A and B are shown apart, each in its own frame.
Chain A
Amino acid sequence: MLQFEKFTLSNGLKVLVYNDKTTPMAVINILYGVGARDEDENKTGFAHLFEHLMFGGSINIPEFDTPLEKVGGENNAFTNNDITNYHITLPAQNIETAFWLESDRMLSLAFSEKSLEVQRKVVIEEFKQRYLNQPYGDAWLYLRPLAFTTHPYKWATIGKDISHIENATMSDVREFYNKWYNPANAIMVVAGPLELKVVKSLAEKWFGNIDKPHTATHQIPQEPVQNKKRELTLTRDVPFKALYQAYHMPARNHPDYKVCDMISDLLSNGASSRLYQNLVKDKNYFSSLNAYISGDVDPGLFIVQGELSNGYSFDDVIPAIDKEIEEIKKGNIHDREIEKVKNKIESTFEFSKTSCLNNAMNLALYEWMGDANQINHEVEHYKAITKDDICRVANELFRKENLSQLNYEPAK
């Protein structure tokens, strides 16, 4: 049970306080409710580029990192398709430094041309490092637009095209910031050995007078139902054939989301899982094979991804995956197997709770999705899932017309 307190400042900033006396370190995690799905299709990669610019100095503080490093702190951030999340970990005694830094960049940025120039280059190198300069690195650049025709999940967080980053202007940057980086679009979690009243007074002091109204809403075109299988083959300089199968699945707040998650665990969580035992070890059709969910807030994807063992063709191995999926659809699942997956989910939650930073990030995310306290009911929701739920959802999910498939063929 994660016990936390919550209050909202008059400017709309939500603050959650998680008192953890067991650590000498404190965490401030700030989630801004903006991600790549909120981007203009002609200006993609912006939410992520912007995350880089958030370290380029704010209105009163020329450098973000240095003052934090000076007090023994460390920070990082990530952007995904739904949110942008910033976190600081530092010795609890110096927590006010984190309030000072985070509040100033929420108040206003420095908007330095030099910072934009450099971070543009850095992000382009990030693009190359992650997506272009390694085998199978571009899979998601192709899989997303194959699976999504309309919803902005069709582009990757890094952007649809490098030129969007190259062409970003300072006025684009300002506009994006003014639209999304407002107190009422943010959730702050303060975790560590800190009392509520201390956090309240620091939050009022540093964030209380940031008056920036928030009016933007998420204008997300929803994905039409797919009614025909899609397939794309990429010929690349890769050593082995690889397969990516993507099925549309329900949104994060849909009860069947967790059922999908559990199906992916039945298929591939742990060395005793079906795909690993049957197709990697027994038949050895694949050198690696995994099933997982994309974890998106809007309806996302259920993925089956694997590298084929040398010598096998797609025609050899795909029917074998289909057969495994068919078993789930038919409900050929032992009670003990379901219990196993539930036990694993429960222990994973217990392990995750040992990290103060994890707890802070999760509370922010759950609060943003509607209610931080839902995190305390996750395990019971998973435990309530039945074999019938699994069968029903598997039958809805695994339909050929719901499938987008990406194949990698090694170039001769």
Chain B
Amino acid sequence: MNNQNINRKQAPSAGLLQFSGFPDFSETKINNLIPCYSFENFNSEVVRLDIVIGAGTWSQQKPLQASSMARMMMEGTKKYNAFQIAETIDFNGAYIDITASNHFTTISIFAVKHILVRLFPLLISIMTESVFPEEEFRVILANNKQEFIIGNKKVLSIARRTLPSMLYGETHPYGKILKESDFDNISSDDLKQLYSQLPLGNARCYIGGNMDTDVIASLSEMMEQTKKHLITTDEKNFDIQPSSEKQRIIEIKDAVQSAIMLGTPVVGRSHPDFPLLMLTNTILGGYFGSRLMKSIREEKGYTYGISSGIAVRPKASHLSIQTEVKSETTQLALDEIFREISRLSSEKVQMEELNIARNYIFGSLLRSMDGPFALTERLMTMHAEQLNPKDYFRNYWDTIAKANPDDIQRMAKKYLNPDEMRVLIVGNKN
């Protein structure tokens, strides 16, 4: 069997990557109202349920309101105190996470399958009758404030908190910079007010993994009680006001590394350019073999890592580049980043390089749909932007499969204009 004649210089033959389409899932309407999507999968003993409620930071009147409400929903209800809630979840070996994003409040539950329905009485209480005790809120807020202050000692955290304001303006929900004083200006009444307007009756449910037959029936029964929360929400419009300054430096004395971030507005998933833009981003900084990684890390050793990515959100999206570099090489690294951005427009990418990036994207797309939990997440992302997953992923794959070097150059010229980039440096430039 031992074959001495293998040619180690030659890569083994590999098959073309194929995409068989976004997998089937079932869709039912709970109480003729709340859509429930499920991916059944009996390979493991665990199940995940997500309840997505259409209100997030976009709807808040003051900073921290939505995230604090989400955090505090589990800190006491009319039926259970905070300890009882925590103990019940822990005793059942489950996890419940409530998070607020820009447009949604999402309740995620992970549990071993027979446990899930046992948590429903607790869950409905959390959704409909949380009491937001002021004293407990003070403690949690103080802890969050300390965590925020510690974050503000890290160059990259400061950069991440600040860059969106340069792209969207500080009055836009996507661009707001959180300040230390915001922690002193919020009370449990603010949380109660937002909570009372949660549009629970228009929630969506997603369930993936190993589920008992009665789980949908129990879920329906539970969600029945949200009927009285049929609230229509109207999202306000905000103007995007990018900063007039193109470059901002936040000086941190003695920092041994500087964080560099660049950002520019781009289109989101619903735009026909998006697949090619993703491919362009991948070539620039979206994977280990990208141009930025090769140049800034693997050629020059200025950094441990550099990456670019697209932050896609329902109302506006941006592309950003981020890295932490040796302080002395801050300017050199920045020049190099700009050189790589310009090169995408000025010269055509080689077919070989395009193919590597293309296959990398294909591989990561296949990985991102591996298993019911991952599929649940993909589906939630699609629905957040009113996209049909079957059509979207088919088109995404096929468009990238056909992409050629002209497409990349066209995308770079259209979206990656160095003069439009906002640049933020946090650290010690000299």
Q: Which residue numbers of A lie inside 8 Å of B, CB to CB?
A: 22-25, 59-61, 65-67, 69-74, 89-91, 93-94, 96-97, 99-100, 103-104, 107, 117-123, 125-126, 128-129, 132-136, 201, 204-206, 208-209, 237-240, 269-273, 277, 280-281, 284, 287-288, 307, 309-310, 336, 339-340, 343-348, 350-351, 353-356
Contacts and interface: CB of A to CB of B under 8 A. Distances in A.
B312 to A, nearest CB: 21
Contacts of B37: none
A25 B366 contact: yes
Interface stretch (B38-46, B216-224, B269-277): B38-46
Nearest to A56: B298
A309 B325 CA distance: 32
A132 B83 contact: no
A74 B289 contact: no
Interface in B144-195: 146-147, 149-150, 153-155
Contact of B147 (A90, A103, A288): A288
Contacts of B254: 237
Given A66-B356, A100-B8, A270-B86, A353 B44 contact: yes
A347 B112 contact: yes
B35 to A, nearest CB: 25
Nearest to B111: A347
Interface stretch (B10-18, B55-63, B338-346): B10-18
B373 interface: yes
Nearest to A239: B149
B33 interface: no
B44 A354 contact: yes
Contact of B289 (A66, A71, A125): A66
A119 to B, nearest CB: 8
B304 A350 contact: no
A94 B371 contact: no
Contacts of B301: 117-122, 125
B147 A70 contact: no
Contacts of A355: 371
B304 A71 contact: no
A93 B362 CA distance: 14
Q: 8 tightest A-B contacts by CB?
A: A72-B363, A121-B301, A347-B93, A271-B86, A287-B146, A272-B86, A270-B90, A96-B12
A281 B12 CA distance: 58
29 contacts: A69-B287, A69-B356, A69-B360, A70-B356, A71-B14, A71-B359, A72-B364, A91-B15, A91-B366, A93-B14, A96-B14, A100-B12, A118-B297, A125-B257, A128-B257, A132-B256, A205-B6, A239-B146, A271-B89, A287-B143, A307-B150, A309-B146, A340-B90, A345-B93, A348-B93, A350-B45, A350-B112, A351-B110, A356-B370
Contacts of A22: 41, 43, 371
Contact of A97 (B4, B14, B93, B298): B14
Contacts of B363: 69, 71-74, 90-91
A270 B89 contact: yes
B146 A307 contact: yes
Nearest to B152: A239
B316 interface: no
B139 A209 contact: no
Contacts of B4: 209
Given A69-B357, A132-B256, 20 more contacts: A22-B41, A24-B370, A69-B363, A72-B364, A72-B366, A91-B15, A94-B14, A123-B304, A134-B154, A208-B2, A237-B254, A239-B149, A270-B90, A310-B142, A340-B87, A344-B93, A346-B112, A347-B94, A354-B371, A354-B373
A70 B14 contact: yes
Contacts of B128: none
B285 to A, nearest CB: 14
A69 B297 CA distance: 18
A287 B11 CA distance: 53
Contacts of B150: 135-136, 238-240, 307
A121 B257 CA distance: 13
Contacts of B87: 272, 340
Interface in B280-321: 287-289, 297-304
B406 interface: no
User: By DSSP majority rule, is chain A's interface helix, strand, loop, or mixed?
Assistant: helix
B232 interface: no
Contacts of B356: 66, 69-70
A61 B255 CA distance: 39
A89 B209 CA distance: 22
Contacts of B370: 23-25, 356
Nearest to B8: A60
A36 to B, nearest CB: 18
Contacts of B15: 91, 93-94
B93 A343 contact: yes
A119 B304 CA distance: 9
B136 interface: yes
Contact of B359 (A61, A70, A339): A70
A200 to B, nearest CB: 8
Nearest to A276: B86
B86 to A, nearest CB: 4
A255 B366 CA distance: 41
A135 B297 contact: no
Given A96-B12, A129-B304, A271-B89, A74 B146 contact: no
B9 interface: yes
A91 B17 contact: yes
Contact of B2 (A118, A119, A204, A350): A204
A242 to B, nearest CB: 9
B9 A206 contact: no
A206 B2 CA distance: 9
Contacts of A25: 366-367, 370
Interface string B17-28: 100000000000
Given A133-B324, A208-B1, A350-B44, A72 B360 contact: yes
A121 B256 CA distance: 14
B326 interface: yes
Contact of A240 (B1, B43, B146, B355): B146
A72 B297 CA distance: 22
B91 A339 contact: yes
A332 to B, nearest CB: 17
A130 B413 CA distance: 36
Given A129-B304, A239-B146, A134 B153 contact: yes
Given A74-B363, A240-B150, A272 B83 contact: yes
A122 B300 CA distance: 9
A13 to B, nearest CB: 13
A104 B8 contact: yes
A133 B256 contact: yes
B154 A135 contact: yes
Contacts of B92: 343, 347
Nearest to B361: A72
Interface string B370-411: 110100000000000000000000000000000000000000
Best-buried of A97, A134, A240, A355 by chain B (most CB within 10 Å) = A134
A240 B338 CA distance: 38
A287 B89 contact: no
B3 interface: yes
A194 B14 CA distance: 16
A353 B304 CA distance: 31
Given A122-B301, A133-B257, A271-B89, A288 B83 contact: no
